[in-house]
Structure 1
Amino acid sequence: METDTDGFDKALARARSGDEAGFLVLWEALHPRLLRYLQVLGCDDVDDVASETWLQAVRDLHRFKKGGADEFRAWLFTIGRHRAVDEARSRTRYRDKILTTGQASPPQTVHFNPVEDEVLAGLSTRQAVALVAGLSRDQAEVVALRIIAGLDTEAVARILRKSPGAVRVALHRGLRTLSEDPRIRDIEKVEQ
Structure 2
Amino acid sequence: MRKGGQVQRVSADDLALGTAVAQAQDGDEAAFEVLYRSVQPGLHGYLCGIVGEDAEDVAAAAWREIARELPRFRGDGHGFRGWTASIARRHARGHLRRRGASHRTTGSSWPPPAMDHLAHTLPGATLPTETAQALIAQLPLAQAEVVLLRHVICLDEPTIARVMGRPSPVVRLLARRGTRSLARLLGAGDVTHGVARALGEPT
In the alignment, which of 180, 185, 192 is matched to residue 184 of structure 2?
Answer: 180
> Which residue of the partner structure matches residue 23 of structure 1?
32
> Which residue of the partner structure matches residue 136 of structure 1?
140
Q: Report deviation, 1:89.
A: 3.2
Any residues of structure 2 matched to 1:136-175 within 5 Å, and which? 136-175=140-179
| Structure 1: gaps (5+ residues) | 93-107, 113-117, 188-192
TM norm structure 1: 0.76
Q: How many pairs does the alignment contain?
A: 165
> Which residue of the partner structure matches residue 85 of structure 2?
77
Deviations 1:25-53 (A, max 9, x none): 11111112111211222266221111111
| 2: CA distance, partners of 1:119 / 1:18 | 44
The range that moved more, 15-24 or 123-132, is 123-132
Tell me if structure 2 keeps the 8 A contact 1:132–1:178. yes
Deviations 1:39-86 (A, max 9, x none): 222266221111111111111111002x11111011001011111222
| 2: CA distance, partners of 1:44 / 1:126 | 10
Tell me if structure 2 keeps the 8 A contact 1:119–1:178. no
| 1: CA distance, partners of 2:123 / 2:165 | 26
> 2:155 is aligned with what amino acid?
L
Larger Rg: 1 or 2?
1
TM norm structure 2: 0.72
Tell me if structure 1 keeps the 8 A contact 2:147–2:179. yes
> Which residue of the partner structure matches residue 115 of structure 2?
none
| Structure 2: gaps (5+ residues) | 1-10, 107-121, 192-203
Tell me if structure 1 keeps the 8 A contact 2:16–2:77. no
> 2:162 is aligned with what amino acid?
R
Tell me if structure 1 keeps the 8 A contact 2:50–2:137. no
> Which residue of the partner structure matches residue 117 of structure 2?
none
Please identify which structure carries the higher helix content.
Answer: 1
| 2: CA distance, partners of 1:90 / 1:138 | 18
Deviations 1:165-185 (A, max 9, x none): 010111011111222335437
Q: Report deviation, 1:162.
A: 1.0
Identity within the alignment, %: 35
Of structures 1 and 2, the one with the larger relative CO (CA 8 A, separation 6+) is 2
> Which residue of the partner structure matches residue 94 of structure 2?
86
| 1: CA distance, partners of 2:54 / 2:182 | 26
